[in-house]
């Protein structure tokens, strides 16, 4: 379906835009305008917020939740109870990868991958199989980008890369098997060199800004000729997310993000020893 009127009515976006719609307002507008099948594609992208909410609830049942997820607190209470009480839970709100992840938490034979990374592995594998080529390519791109950044960070710190690579595609497998400092991935991931250069950036906020610029450029290139399609609508949502991610970011929060990442990785190392 073509969304001529919807897209024509949205403000043009730039990374430094100050008029980008608030995510909650945009979500309301898109939910009303999209067909059922196209809403399902948007929901697939919104599952990243559901993943964050689930991890929060596993630590604290009263934790504040991100309202951009597809599930509310009561939904999660019902679904967690269902997974606890039923061997093969069936509920249209419950995605298969969530069940796989939840079951893995009780499996003593599971590797010591950080819980957040394990959930990301299940999610990326699930989303990359989407029948929409733009959505599938977006998740593959993000998976590769995050893995290359992680691999470079591990190499710079002298850590075991294999413990932190997420997913099971070709790039992930190559990153787990390569032992040298120079990663050779451009045949499988054409943005690899650009990502490795970003990984060497010492200024944390500059690093995050360059990551978002690369994502923005990828989105633009992959929707250039799809002006009024669902792909362009989803691209608009993703770009709004990029813009508003910077609403509360400053130098100190950038440092906190990096420290948190390192602390989690260190805990994983200790747990695995």
Q: Is residue 75 part of a domain?
A: yes
Judge whether 61 lies within some domain.
yes
* Number of domains present in the structure of the chain: 1
Confirm if 120 and 104 have CB atoms less than 8 A apart: no
Q: What pLDDT does 262 receive?
A: 54
Confidence class for position 258, pLDDT limits 50, 70, 90: low
Nearest C-alpha neighbor of 71 from the set 49, 88, 102, 91: 49
On whether residue 83 sits in a domain, the answer given is yes
pLDDT band at 111 (very low <50, low <70, confident <90, very high): low
- Is there a domain that residue 196 lies in? no
Distance in angstroms (rounded) separating the CA atoms of residues 235 and 231: 6
Confidence of residue 113 (pLDDT cuts 50, 70, 90): low
The string of DSSP letters for 175-238 reads HHH--SSS---TTT-TTHHHHHHHHT--SHHHHHHHHHHHHHHHHHHHTTT-TTSHHHHHHHHH
Give me the domain span that covers residue 90.
37-110
188 within a domain of the structure (yes/no): no
Is 53 part of any domain? yes
Q: Is the pLDDT of residue 104 over 80?
A: yes
The answer to whether residues 218 and 224 touch, using CB atoms and an 8 Å cutoff, is no
Within-domain flag for 86: yes
Q: Is the pTM of this model over 0.85?
A: yes
Q: Give residue-wise pLDDT tens across range 50-82.
A: 999 999 999 999 999 999 999 999 999 999 999
For residue range 203-253, list pLDDT tens digits in order: 888 898 999 999 999 999 999 988 899 999 999 999 999 999 887 665 445
């Amino acid at each position: 379906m073509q969304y001529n009127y919807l897209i024509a009515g949205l403000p043009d976006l730039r990374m430094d835009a100050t008029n980008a719609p608030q995510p909650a307002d945009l979500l309301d507008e898109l939910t009303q305008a999209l067909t059922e099948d196209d809403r399902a594609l948007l929901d697939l992208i919104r599952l990243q917020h559901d993943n964050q909410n689930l991890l929060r609830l596993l630590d604290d049942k009263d934790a504040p939740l991100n309202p951009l997820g597809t599930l509310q607190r009561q939904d999660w209470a019902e679904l967690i109870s269902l997974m606890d009480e039923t061997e093969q839970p069936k509920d249209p709100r419950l995605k298969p990868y969530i069940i796989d992840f939840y079951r893995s938490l009780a499996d003593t034979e599971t590797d010591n991958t950080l819980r957040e990374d394990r959930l990301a592995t299940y999610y990326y594998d699930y989303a990359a199989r989407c029948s929409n080529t733009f959505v599938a390519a977006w998740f593959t791109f993000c998976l590769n980008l995050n893995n290359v950044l992680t691999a470079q960070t591990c190499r710079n710190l002298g850590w075991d890369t294999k413990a932190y690579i997420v997913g099971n595609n070709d790039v992930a497998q190559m990153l787990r098997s390569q032992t040298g400092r120079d990663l050779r991935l451009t045949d499988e991931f054409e943005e690899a060199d650009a990502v490795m250069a970003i990984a060497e950036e010492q200024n944390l906020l500059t690093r995050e800004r360059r990551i978002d610029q690369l994502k923005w450029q990828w989105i633009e290139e992959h929707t250039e000729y799809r002006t009024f399609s669902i792909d362009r609508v989803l691209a608009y949502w993703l770009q709004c997310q990029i813009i508003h991610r910077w609403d509360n970011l400053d130098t100190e929060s950038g440092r906190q993000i990096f420290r948190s990442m390192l602390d989690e990785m260190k805990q994983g190392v200790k747990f695995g020893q």
